[in-house]
Amino acid sequence: MSRKQILIITAILLWLPILGILGHSYLWLPTKYRYLIRRVETAQTAEQEQSAFKLAADWGRVWEVSRLQSNAEAPDGRHLSGNWLLRLEWLDSSPFGGGAYCAYRAVIDTNNLKILYEKKY
């Protein structure tokens, strides 16, 4: 093996972990949380809501579950109405700025909230 080949192999081996970390932080995590937020916010039945909450608790560290005032408005301008309005916040935050990942929804079945309050770690 020549010196040039050794340098190329060494450079590749040194850059692979860096590319892996960047790919995880800037591709995988934002995609994962966008999917979780969409699942939580678009659930239309109590069963869909239950599975979305289970997925949110299993895939991410649910940091804060807070009840909003009735007739609240989500940051994206959606008007929420219902008896139990929820703001679900994960511990992780976006690498692109804007703070933590959050989902907003009107809860269909309050029994599903038990899933979010159970600690799994």
Q: What is the pLDDT of residues 29-79, one digit of tens each?
A: 999 999 999 999 999 999 999 999 999 988 888 888 888 887 777 888 888
What is the mean pLDDT of the segment spanning 2-20? 94
- Assigned domain for 15 exists: no
Q: Is residue 62 part of a domain?
A: yes
Domain for residue 1, yes or no? no
Is the pTM value of this prediction over 0.85?
no
Predicted pLDDT of residue 95: 84
| Inter-CA distances, 76 with 34, 36, 103, 111, 121, Å | 14, 17, 11, 27, 31
Q: Give the distance, in angstroms, between the CA of residue 50 and the centroid of all CA atoms in the same chain.
A: 16
Mean pLDDT of 97-101: 84
Structural domain including 97 reads 31-117
Query: Residue 25: inside a domain, yes or no?
Result: no
Number of domains in the chain: 1
In-domain check, residue 6: no
Q: Is 26 inside any structural domain? A: no
Q: Residue 88 falls within a domain, yes or no?
A: yes
Residue 111 falls inside a structural domain: yes
**25 has pLDDT over 60:** yes
